[in-house]
Structures are given as C-alpha cells and as structure tokens.
A and B are shown apart, each in its own frame.
Chain A
C-alpha cells in the first residue's frame, strides 16, 4: 500500500503565532504530523499546549503562520476564506463539546445544514440527512427539536451533521465534555462503530484518559510542539501536569 496516498493529513513545520498586544505568542512551534485514512486518534495535552490551535488549523478554521498543511493531497495553508469554507464543508465534520445545534430547528434540519452550503438540492438533502440520522440510531427523532432530546441524543444529532457530507475526517473537540459517563460511553460506542464499519478517520481532542483510551493512537502536545506521536496513556503521569 502506498503510504503517501493513504495519508489524510500531513503537516510539515506547522507554526502559528498570535499577536497579544505587543507580545507575540507562539502557539505552535513547528508541528510535523501524519495521519492515515481510518485512523482513530486522540489529541491530548495540558491547556496552553497548542492542541486547540492545532485543531483549528486541521479543521481549516484558521490558517498557519508558517509551514505546510496537506489535507487529502491538497495544500491548504495558502487558501483564502471562501476556499477554506469549501474545504470545511467537504472534508471536515465537526463535533463540538457544546453540540452547537440550531435550537429552533429539527434534528433533520440541523443535519441538513452542511448540505445547504454544499449546494445540495432539497430532496437529496432530506434523503441524506435521514440516512445520517439513522446511522446514529435517531431514525425516530428526525422532527424533534434539540430541547426535546437528551444530551446524548443531541450529540448524536451533531455527529450525524458532521457525517452527512461524507467528510474525510471527523474532528471532535471534547465530544463528551458535557455528558455524564453513561452517555459518554454511548457516544464513544458511536465513534467506535463509525471507525470500524464506515472506515471513518476520527481525530478527537480530550483531556479524559478513559475517553482517549478508546482511540488507537494518542498524540500529545506540549508547549506548541509534539511531545509524543504515540503516547502510552496507561501511565497517566507520563502525559500531563
């Protein structure tokens, strides 16, 4: 198998600087990263380690100050806002800690949202949104609004929304941060299922070891640099603090 063709994400010397008043903050100081198709990865690191910045860059919500970022064979570091929006729409599915569902819209409409911006016609939109909702076992909650759903169900709607445009990566930022442990397990089961049966590439930021333990590989960051590309988190103190 050709290793480069199988790469979903490749970064080389990725840096990101912020201007905070007169001071320049170096949030990322040269990150080299390779993630292959169908990998299930957890990203960990203390706050200020740069993991949020890295996620924003991988998610094409932001552009790097320096370095290279190749997503699915396309260099994205120099794209403009509209091209980034298109990449986010096609290649990336976001799952947020706070779900970020539109409160007055039905599950179906929430899931349809990325398809609207993808220019998909309404009949196909509906069909694909229904399919995505069935995939997360919410076939019977299509017309429910977020406030009529439990936390776990809301997050599953959000996962359906992230998947509906068949993105190359699912980017989850603390997906269980607002959920109790039973519901967290439910969501992890959904990820597990997607990883095993749909061949979905999953990148998940978390600070919980038991959640990170579901991933195949754990990447840790410290001070804006990769600390480990395959950390052993069975020994917690080796990672954090």
Chain B
C-alpha cells in the first residue's frame, strides 16, 4: 500500500476514535509537554543569562571590586560570611589604587547605591526608585543609553552639580505631558535638575534600572549617601577578555600591596565577573538537562506501552477488516505499513499536542513571571522524531501480528 494511503487511513482511524486516541496518548503528551516546557524555559533562561542578566549586572569584559560578593554561588559558610563582614568598605582611595595598578586602556568607574527611595516633582511622586551615585562613564560601562538630553559629564562631577539622569519609568510617571529636561526633582530634602532620560531596558533586571536615578558621585556623596566617602563597587571595563584577566591580576596585586596584605593572607576584597555568575547558572542548567532525559524517557516508555496495547486491541477488533484486506490483495507488508503508519501517526499526534501544551505552559510562565520563554527549533524536531520513534517501536509488535494473520481465520473471526 502506498505510504500516503496508509497515512490517510491512519488519520481517519484516529479521528473515528477521538476519545480513545486521546487517552491512549496521555503518556506521550505528558512526556513531550515536559520536554518542550523544560527546554523552552531552560533555553529562555540561558539566553537571558547570557545576553541580558550578566550584561546588566556586570557588562561585558568587565569585573568589579566589591567588599563582599553581591551574588553568592554555591554555599557560603558562616565563617566566610563573618570574614566578608570584616572586609573594609571601599573608598575613593581604593579607586586611585585601582586606577594606578590597572593597565592602560581600561575604564574605571565606581558607584554607590542608596537602595530604594522615592522621588517627587510637584504633586507627583514615584516610590521604590533606585538612587545611584556614580562616576562619569558608569552608565556607558553598564551599557545604559541616554534617550533624551545628556549623560553625566566630568564637569558635573568636578563641580559637584546637583543634576540627575532619570530612568524612563520615572520620566513617564512624573512628567506625563511635559519634557523632564531642566525640571527639578526632589529626593528627600534635596533638589536635582534633570539633564537626561535613559533608554528603556525592560526585562527582569532592566525593570529595576528603568526606575533609577543616576547622580554624579560627588553630589550624591554630599547629599544622599548613607555612608559618605564610601563606595559599593569599582567597575573595570577592558576592551577584551584577555585584557580583563590581565587587569584583574594587576588590580588584585595593587590592592593587596596598598592594604599591606602578607602573602599568606586572603584578599580582604572580592573580584567578581559575569563568568562566575554564568558558571553558577550552568550548574543548574546541567542538572536540569541531566534529569530531563530520564523523566521524558519514563513518560515515553509508558506512553509507548499504552499505544502498543491500544494497537493490539485495535488489531483484534479489526481482524475481519484485515482478513478482507488480505482477500482483496493486501500483502503482509501492506498490512504492516498500515498499522505502523497508524501507531506512528497516533504517537505523532500526541507529540504535536505535547508541543502545543508545552509551548503554551512556557508562554504562561513567561506571562506570569519575568522568566523568558524561548522554544528552540531543534526541540520541535526532537519532539517530532521522538513521536515517530515511539510510534514505530510500539507499533512493530501489533503490526506484525496483524500482518501475519491467516486471511481465512481472520475473515471468519467474530
């Protein structure tokens, strides 16, 4: 029998027994749903971590000097935590040390973060904004683009001007109908003149920065700083990854020398890069991708057994039909192809439903949480291939039983 005829027949069989077909496919549907949903979320996270998350915290080819790690990978012991707490806070003196020890060609910036606050303009206010005091160049290193007006300049820093570049969410909230440029906003008792608005970033972390105010470090230190003279982090951006690694060793040496740490003592500061964070994510990722095949296989094996049973039932219910087909000229291979096509199409329909539900679930997760969802094409190919393989494997036994039926016996079956 031509394959096309077999497929047509298979579809009409499945359609004729919609409910039975659906229930027989539950195992395959669950397996493929799980496969697609997990791959979609893992891939989405991967892309996010690679392109967005790491970049928004650290920038590319950038490392930061901090007192203690801002993101702890793995388990931190109580002892480690106490040691971090004993590390001295960073100061402008450390900035000088970093600048002096870092090789030429790198950009050094620093910032301090007041945490969440609120900002006012006239009667309007916006709560839960982030107030950051930063050196010139900080926004550029972080990859923040100015949409309107200008960014912070060295002049703002030197003169201690009370100016601010605000995030797009704040601009929208405080200045719905007018240009924010040149207006004075208030944070606590202090007034700052808006000189620029950042480009919208969006995303999981970008969202926080869309509601941030960036001040020149000198003005920030003088007014809003909770701890004048102290910084949260010093960022060093290098042109290449190699230059970044060289700069890291140089800065580490410079700081140790400046702090007079003897060779046996640990650093009393932390150097962190985005690669540390990526390796933490990769660990999680690997666990997920190791467990996934096991769980999917179990569901597919169960699904395959169910399909095999359904096909055996179908063969015995359609014994007369098989007898008739043989009587009018069907060869063994024709009958084999017919039932293999049926089990494969059945399983493929299950895989299709699984893909649909899996992508749907991932979309729901995407809509309800900031987790991104991205279904790679190869996973769809994998789902289709698994569907066909499960169908073929589970169809072999029932189909060969059908093919080997004696036409005389089959024609007289009840």
Cross-chain contact B329 with A117 (CB below 8 angstroms): yes
Interface size on A, residues (CB 8 A): 24
Q: CA separation between A85 and B332, bound complex, in Å?
A: 9
A100 x B408 contact (CB < 8 A): no
From A56-64, A65-73, A186-194, A195-203, give the one contacting chain B: A56-64
Given contacts A96-B411, A117-B1, A117-B334, contact A88 B329 (CB under 8 A): yes
The verdict on B137 contacting chain A, using a C-beta distance below 8 Å, is: no
Is A117 within 8 A of B320, CB to CB?
Answer: no
A99-131, CB under 8 A of B: which get 1 and which 0? 010101000000001101111000000000000
A113 surroundings in chain B (CB, below 8 A):
324-325, 328
User: At the interface, yes or no: B264 with Cβ under 8 Å from chain A?
Assistant: no
Minimum CB distance partner of B326 in chain A: A85
A82 to B, closest residue via Cβ: B331
**Residue of A at shortest CB range from B332?**
A81
Which residue of B12, B320, B328 is within 8 Å of A161 (Cβ)?
B328
Assess whether A85 is in contact with B411, with CB atoms less than 8 Å apart: no
B334 contact set on A, CB distance < 8 A: 85, 117
Q: Return the chain B residue nearest A99 by Cβ.
A: B324
- Is A77 an interface position by the 8 A CB rule? no
Q: Is A86 among interface residues, defined by CB-CB distance under 8 A?
A: yes
State whether B408 touches A85 (Cβ < 8 A): no
Instruction: Look across to chain B and name the residue whose beta carbon is closest to the beta carbon of A117.
Output: B329
Q: Is the CB of A117 within 8 A of B411?
A: no
A88 pairs with B332, CB closer than 8 A: no
> What is the 8 Å Cβ interface bit string for chain B, positions 313-344, against chain A (1 contact, 0 not)?
00000001101111111111110000000000
Q: Are A86 and B329 in contact (CB under 8 A)?
A: yes
- Chain B 319-373 interface residues, beta-carbon cutoff 8 Å to A: 320-321, 323-334
CA distance A102 to B325 in the complex (A): 10
- Bound together, the chains give a CA A102 to CA B334 distance in angstroms of 17
B368-411, CB under 8 A of A: which get 1 and which 0?
00000000000000000000000000000000000000011001
Known contacts A61-B408, A96-B411: does B12 contact A104 (CB below 8 Å)?
yes
Give the distance in Å from the alpha carbon of A165 to the alpha carbon of B5 in the complex.
18
In this assembly, does B287 line the interface, its C-beta being within 8 Å of a C-beta of chain A?
no
Do A85 and B329 touch (CB < 8 A)? yes
The contact of A118 among B321, B326, B329, B333, by CB within 8 Å, is B329
**B328 close to A117 (CB less than 8 A):** yes
The residues in B between 139 and 158 inclusive whose CB is less than 8 angstroms from any CB of A are: none
Greatest chain B CB density within 10 A among A62, A90, A94, A116 is at A116
A89 part of interface (Cβ distance < 8 Å): yes
Contact among B5, B321, B328 with A88 in the assembled complex (CB-CB below 8 Å): B328
Contact A61 B329 (CB under 8 A): no
User: B19 interface residue, CB < 8 Å from A?
Assistant: no
Q: Are B1 and A116 in contact (CB under 8 A)?
A: yes
Whether B324 and A100, one on each chain, are in contact in the complex, defined by CB atoms closer than 8 angstroms, is yes
Complex contacts, B1 vs chain A, CB 8 Å = 116-117
A106 to B321, CA, bound (A): 15
Contact A88 B327 (CB under 8 A): yes
The CA-CA distance from A22 to B411 in the complex, in Å, is: 26
B5 nearest CB neighbor, chain A only:
A116
B51-102 CB contacts (< 8 Å) to partner A: none
Which residues in window 233-283 of B have CB below 8 A to A? none
Interchain CA distance A225-B180 in the complex, whole Å:
111
Confirm or deny: B16 has a beta carbon within 8 angstroms of a beta carbon on chain A: yes
Q: Which residue of B is nearest A118, CB measured?
A: B329
Taking a contact as CB atoms under 8 Å apart, the answer to whether B327 and A81 are in contact is: no
24 A-B pairs within 8 Å (CB atoms) are namely: A56-B408, A61-B327, A61-B407, A61-B408, A81-B332, A85-B326, A85-B330, A85-B331, A85-B332, A86-B329, A89-B328, A89-B329, A90-B329, A100-B320, A100-B327, A100-B411, A102-B324, A104-B12, A113-B324, A114-B328, A116-B1, A116-B5, A117-B328, A165-B329
9 tightest Cβ-Cβ pairs between the two chains A and B? A89-B329, A117-B329, A114-B328, A85-B331, A100-B324, A82-B331, A61-B407, A117-B330, A94-B327
Q: Which B residues are within 8 Å of any A CB, using their own CB?
A: 1-2, 5, 12, 16, 320-321, 323-334, 407-408, 411
